[in-house]
Chains A and B, each alone.
Chain A
Amino acid sequence: MCGSTATASALFVGRSPTLQKAPPYISLLLILVGVAWLFMLPLNDYSRRTYISENALLPGQVHTYFGGSDQNVLRAYRHEVGALENNTNTEVNDKLEHMFRSMGLKVGRQNYTYTTSGNTIAGENVYAILQAPRGDATEAIVLVAAWRNVKGEFNRNGLAVALALTRYFKRWSLWSKDIILVVPPDSRAGTQAWVDAYHDSHDSRRVADLPIKSGALQGAIAIDFPQEERFEGVHIVYDGINGQLPNLDLINSVTNIASGQMGMGSSIQNMFHHNDEYRDRLTCMLRGMVNQGLGHAVGPHSSFIPYHVDAITIQPVGQGWHDEMGLGRLIEGTFRSLNNLLEHLHQSFFFYLLMQKERFVSIGTYLPSAMLIAANFTITAIALWVKSGYAPKKTTGATAKEAKVDVIQEKKEGADTKKAMRESPEDLQPTVERELYLPLSLVTGCQFLGFVPLFVFNHVPSSLLTPLFIMTTLLSLTLPHALSFFLVTTYKPTHQQYQLITSFFLLLLGMFLSTLATLNFSLAFLVGLLATPLTFVHPFRLVSKLPAAGYAYSALLSLLNPGVVVLGAAVATLHSGMGLGLAGLDLTPWEAIQKVLEESAFGWGVWGMYTPLIFWCVWFPAWVVGSVVVLG
């Protein structure tokens, strides 16, 4: 690992001086192509129309009979639910349990208590299982109607529709899969507790076991319908935790039934007026990417997706002429489709970016853009490793004295003679032993340093989060200066050591990001894009004798400090319509930051969201090391 000969190095850039200078330009090119690639995706030539891939689904091919007198039932349920609005969780569940039992369903209840950021989130889920008349309880479909939606609004109509539908479903004999109606008191922790316990992967200190269960979950539909008026169309929310997505067939089935059978509009990513032009498609795709990149739960369905249960939330939106019965029929149609499934949804895509409800790009088309950005780091890393194996051209000062120079006389023969003649003698550089200890320990040390804030921010009470975060950001802005000062005064790193430091941290960054791109494309792309200036770091004072340029570059990097970016994003998205779920909440910037940090701690503790890990242990260390190199 320590040594080198020119042989391997020659594979890459060893001999040709033009090639030696190329890597930064190649990296730049990769970044530009990667970004341009993303902006090409919404074009007609690069995206595709959606289609139903699984033939068993047959969306919209059945008559839906939810209507007629069921409307009276629904109205009655709405009154009953409305009357419970101000009751406690337990009272509500007592009443719901009574209702379920009178429908002839099996009922279970489950307690959960989560503690994050010093806040305790406790509640009790209630759920009912409708046993399939034609099934053997090996498979089930889930209908979720949370008491309150993600914004905390009372989901009165949603629950009423779910109750009326369940009562109606009970009358039919065509179900071959069990139907489970879950009513969690909230949309964030309740479903997570239920799904965890359903798959026996819960922590029994926080979440109780489920008293009754059914078969493997084949799909889940959540209803989020707090509005009282009639609606125009449905909004489909599909992002899962950690950016995992449900099978595209499920979304397609719902849009297909909504538009084809019910004559409803459907929309995604809060784009209620999508005119299917480039601009709207791009906005829609970018909103999807931000949601995916943040990896948080955007609806009660999100918790299902990590368990490979395809799930979406349906929200009626707008002012129109459709009533609750229409929503009920839409869900009935979807359930009939899911009921038809012979095996788990697998035909269609799991990795896609939707840019309109009927237009998408699949992984093969979009992945290269994130991979190119990740590759730019790797290429520079390899180039710097190779370069660090050569002694500097002019042997100056301490560098050459310390480095043990091992001259390799290259002797060209035969066909190589011409090439050898073209090269001037000073291009044949001697190779040197690499000094790895300082670079390795600095990079490893900074990598582990990230675990400290990760631990701290997931464990401090919420009131301390904002001040602590601002303090950490300020500290992290000064950290590179302190580290650099310490290094320069104590160890006097050579140019080669700086090259190796850069090589190692870029290699790690490139590796983490390309791995991440296979799991969560958007997060890898966003982090990669924000980290691109790190590719071009360079010890300005030591090599270019331009300390001012070093400070300027360091100032640029300070703007892209992970903490600064989060603070900026939290404040900036307060008033815009997208991202972080802060829009329209009327918060002060201080509260907005606190909300983001609470969400991150909540996600880490409850949902198993790994975004904070990427933030603190991939991006943050790379930024610190990069800034140290710039100041060197």
Chain B
Amino acid sequence: MAKDNSSLQATTGTAGLFVVAAALRLLLFTAFPGLPNLLTGRVEISTPVTSFKRLQEGLFLYNHNVSPYDGGVYHQAPLLLPLFSLLPDPSTYPIFTYILYILVDLLSANALYKIAESKEGAISRLYTSPRKEKRWSGYIVAALFLLNPFTIATCVGRPTSVFTTCAILHAVAKALSGNIFTSMLSLSFAAYLSMYPLLLLPPMVILAYDRTYNPKAPKSLGQLAGMCTLVVGGSLGLLFLSSYALTGSWEFLSSTYGIQLTLTDLTPNAGLWWYFFTEMFDSFRSFFLGVFWLHLSSYTPALTIRLRQQPLAVTTLLLGIFAIFKPYPSIADTSLFLSLVPCFRHVFPLLRYSFVTSSVVLYGTFLGPAFYHLWIYAGSGNANFFYAITLVWSLGLSLLVSDLAFAILRDEWEVERPEMRGKEIRQI
């Protein structure tokens, strides 16, 4: 009964939070009619593979029975098109699009609430943190996600990456509740939309395995992994087939995933790739594309093996790494990473560079648009200005990722070596 009461309270609490968050977004959408389009145009929010403007272009072509990939502007998944063509035209009745994006944000927050409430951050099957009492409730974690300025800016800027965010968070939440099939389905949706979430498959399998582990009848991990791969492969295959049926050709594969693999669109963004590849001689291009992708994907096995005991930590760290090193990152990816960080409240006292990190990220947030303005509009700066700031931004994020990894490892280490608790460590 008491439990019912508290869950009821929690529900009303989150309902209040959701209403506030939705109202805030709706207010921003309606009170500042120029804001959505302004943010849609920002390179920090919209990348070539997520931009809402490009989606509209694709939608226009699609609605006029032309292949949406003609013209080389639209690089997003084909199944987004029927979804958006169901909605009234965003330029005349924008409110429906707004409501859709607000709902997606709330769904993500709901998944995040479940993730935080599962306490997986501090207590996994194989590992229990000595600091487990120190944690934030799902309410706080969801609030930190919903009221994060990056999340709000992303929602108002309407890139399609919010759907990927939502799918990834749901995949994690479902894996935590032991619902393996739905989790894998959700993950394949995320992978279908943005491709990179496929790299999250190993930690997700382990997460699902740990959460469904029954000590009386243990199943083999390999078996589960095979099954999960089959589910993901099957659902991706179905999605591809329906995309083929929709567009009538396999062109979409090269226009969506091919673009990410070969980086043919060099529009500036918050990441590290574009500048590098604008400077690159063509003969080295394919080599470095291989290097960059190999670098990005090498983190998955490494972290999965090292942090086998804490699969949620692996997922979080990987999302942080993707937000830095993927080909077209935006603040949407950052906000996804930052949304999972509060699940590790218990290791916050072990973070060493919290102030430096937050200052660097704050400085990057303000200097980025200023330098972009100097480069593009004022004409008094050049591309190096903006790239310098993306370096600072990535430095801030990588500090956070490495600091979090350090804190998590230190927390593990103190379980193995209780006598070292509280002692300072130094690199030799």
Q: Give A contacts to B, CB under 8 Å.
A: 1-8, 244, 306, 308, 344, 346, 350-351, 378, 382, 385-386, 406-411, 433, 507, 511-512, 514-516, 518-519
The answer on a CB contact under 8 Å between A1 and B378 is no
Say yes or no for B215: interface residue by CB 8 A criterion: no
The answer on a CB contact under 8 Å between A4 and B349 is yes
15 additional contacts, CB 8 Å, given A5-B349, A382-B359?
A2-B348, A2-B349, A5-B350, A8-B353, A8-B354, A8-B356, A244-B378, A344-B379, A386-B355, A407-B422, A408-B424, A511-B366, A512-B366, A514-B363, A518-B367
The answer on a CB contact under 8 Å between B349 and A308 is no
* Interface flags, B99-141, vs A, CB<8A=1, else 0: 0000000000000000000000000000000000000000000
What's the least CB distance linking A44 to chain B, in Å? 26
The one of A7, A306, A382 in contact with B424, judged by C-beta atoms closer than 8 angstroms, is A7
What's the least CB distance linking B127 to chain A, in Å? 20
Say yes or no for B287: interface residue by CB 8 A criterion: no
Which residues of A have CB within 8 Å of B374? 518-519
Say yes or no for B370: interface residue by CB 8 A criterion: yes
Say yes or no for B224: interface residue by CB 8 A criterion: no
Say yes or no for B351: interface residue by CB 8 A criterion: yes
Identity of the chain B residue whose Cβ is nearest the Cβ of A245 in the assembled complex: B380
What's the least CB distance linking B366 to chain A, in Å? 5
Which residues 315-357 of B have a CB within 8 angstroms of A?
Answer: 348-356
CA distance A83 to B355 in the complex (A): 69
Say yes or no for B267: interface residue by CB 8 A criterion: no
The answer on a CB contact under 8 Å between A511 and B379 is no
CA distance A407 to B421 in the complex (A): 11
CA distance A344 to B355 in the complex (A): 44
Which residues of A have CB within 8 Å of B370? 515-516, 518-519
The one of B373, B422, B423 in contact with A519, judged by C-beta atoms closer than 8 angstroms, is B373
* Interface flags, B66-85, vs A, CB<8A=1, else 0: 00000000000000000000
Identity of the chain A residue whose Cβ is nearest the Cβ of B347 in the assembled complex: A3
What's the least CB distance linking A321 to chain B, in Å? 39
Say yes or no for B150: interface residue by CB 8 A criterion: no
Q: Give B contacts to A, CB under 8 Å.
A: 348-356, 358-359, 362-363, 366-367, 370-371, 373-374, 377-380, 422-425
CA distance A25 to B208 in the complex (A): 57
With A515-B367, A518-B370, A519-B370 already in contact, the answer to whether A308 and B353 are too (CB < 8 A) is: no
With A3-B354, A507-B362 already in contact, the answer to whether A409 and B423 are too (CB < 8 A) is: yes
The answer on a CB contact under 8 Å between A1 and B379 is no
With A2-B349, A406-B349 already in contact, the answer to whether A8 and B379 are too (CB < 8 A) is: no
What's the least CB distance linking A408 to chain B, in Å? 6
What's the least CB distance linking B27 to chain A, in Å? 13
With A511-B363, A515-B366, A518-B371 already in contact, the answer to whether A351 and B352 are too (CB < 8 A) is: no
CA distance A289 to B358 in the complex (A): 33
For the complex of A and B, list the 9 residue pairs with the smallest distance between their C-beta atoms, beginning with the closest: A3-B349, A350-B380, A308-B379, A8-B352, A515-B366, A1-B354, A3-B348, A515-B370, A385-B355
What's the least CB distance linking B137 to chain A, in Å? 15
Identity of the chain A residue whose Cβ is nearest the Cβ of B410 in the assembled complex: A5
With A1-B358, A7-B424, A511-B362 already in contact, the answer to whether A350 and B379 are too (CB < 8 A) is: yes
The answer on a CB contact under 8 Å between A351 and B351 is no
CA distance A6 to B424 in the complex (A): 8
CA distance A8 to B379 in the complex (A): 40
CA distance A411 to B358 in the complex (A): 29
Which residues of B have CB within 8 Å of A409? 422-423
The answer on a CB contact under 8 Å between A346 and B423 is no
Which residues of A have CB within 8 Å of B371? 518
What's the least CB distance linking B385 to chain A, in Å? 8
Which residues of A have CB within 8 Å of B377? 306, 308
The answer on a CB contact under 8 Å between B378 and A350 is yes
What's the least CB distance linking A243 to chain B, in Å? 11
Which residues of A have CB within 8 Å of B359? 378, 382, 507, 511
Which residues of B have CB within 8 Å of A351? 380
What's the least CB distance linking A219 to chain B, in Å? 13
Can you identify 24 A-B contacts, CB atoms within 8 angstroms? A1-B348, A3-B349, A5-B349, A7-B352, A8-B352, A8-B354, A8-B356, A306-B377, A306-B378, A346-B379, A382-B355, A382-B359, A406-B422, A408-B422, A409-B422, A411-B424, A507-B362, A511-B362, A511-B366, A515-B363, A515-B366, A515-B367, A518-B370, A519-B373
Q: Which of B355, B371, B423 has the most CB of A within 10 A?
A: B355
What's the least CB distance linking B404 to chain A, in Å? 11
Identity of the chain B residue whose Cβ is nearest the Cβ of A411 in the assembled complex: B423
CA distance A105 to B133 in the complex (A): 81
Identity of the chain A residue whose Cβ is nearest the Cβ of B381 in the assembled complex: A518
Q: Which of A5, A6, A244 has the most CB of B within 10 A?
A: A5
Which residues of A have CB within 8 Å of B354? 1-4, 8
What's the least CB distance linking B424 to chain A, in Å? 6
CA distance A6 to B423 in the complex (A): 10
Identity of the chain B residue whose Cβ is nearest the Cβ of A512 in the assembled complex: B366
CA distance A516 to B377 in the complex (A): 16
Which residues of A have CB within 8 Å of B353? 8
What's the least CB distance linking A483 to chain B, in Å? 23
Which residues of B have CB within 8 Å of A518? 367, 370-371, 374
What's the least CB distance linking B219 to chain A, in Å? 39
CA distance A3 to B357 in the complex (A): 13
Identity of the chain A residue whose Cβ is nearest the Cβ of B353 in the assembled complex: A8
CA distance A406 to B424 in the complex (A): 13
CA distance A558 to B359 in the complex (A): 29
What's the least CB distance linking B316 to chain A, in Å? 15
CA distance A409 to B374 in the complex (A): 49
CA distance A308 to B376 in the complex (A): 10
Which residues of B have CB within 8 Å of A8? 352-356
Which residues of B have CB within 8 Å of A3? 348-351, 354
What's the least CB distance linking B35 to chain A, in Å? 14
CA distance A190 to B322 in the complex (A): 49
What's the least CB distance linking B186 to chain A, in Å? 30
Which residues of A have CB within 8 Å of B366? 511-512, 515
The answer on a CB contact under 8 Å between B358 and A433 is no
Which residues of B have CB within 8 Å of A378? 359
CA distance A433 to B354 in the complex (A): 13
The answer on a CB contact under 8 Å between A410 and B424 is yes
Which residues of A have CB within 8 Å of B362? 507, 511
What's the least CB distance linking A196 to chain B, in Å? 14
The answer on a CB contact under 8 Å between A1 and B380 is no
CA distance A411 to B419 in the complex (A): 14
CA distance A355 to B230 in the complex (A): 73
CA distance A411 to B363 in the complex (A): 35
Which residues of B have CB within 8 Å of A7? 352, 424-425
Which residues of B have CB within 8 Å of A1? 348, 351, 354, 358
Identity of the chain A residue whose Cβ is nearest the Cβ of B357 in the assembled complex: A1
Which residues of A have CB within 8 Å of B423? 409, 411
CA distance A1 to B400 in the complex (A): 10
CA distance A400 to B380 in the complex (A): 53
What's the least CB distance linking B278 to chain A, in Å? 19
CA distance A207 to B370 in the complex (A): 28
CA distance A1 to B424 in the complex (A): 19
CA distance A385 to B357 in the complex (A): 13
What's the least CB distance linking A589 to chain B, in Å? 36
Which residues of A have CB within 8 Å of B373? 519
CA distance A407 to B424 in the complex (A): 11
Identity of the chain A residue whose Cβ is nearest the Cβ of B365 in the assembled complex: A511
CA distance A116 to B103 in the complex (A): 38
Identity of the chain B residue whose Cβ is nearest the Cβ of A433 in the assembled complex: B349
What's the least CB distance linking A295 to chain B, in Å? 13
Identity of the chain A residue whose Cβ is nearest the Cβ of B425 in the assembled complex: A7
What's the least CB distance linking A431 to chain B, in Å? 9
Which residues of A have CB within 8 Å of B352? 4-5, 7-8
Identity of the chain A residue whose Cβ is nearest the Cβ of B373 in the assembled complex: A519
Which residues of A have CB within 8 Å of B350? 3, 5
Identity of the chain B residue whose Cβ is nearest the Cβ of A349 in the assembled complex: B380
Identity of the chain A residue whose Cβ is nearest the Cβ of B426 in the assembled complex: A7
What's the least CB distance linking A507 to chain B, in Å? 6
What's the least CB distance linking B386 to chain A, in Å? 12
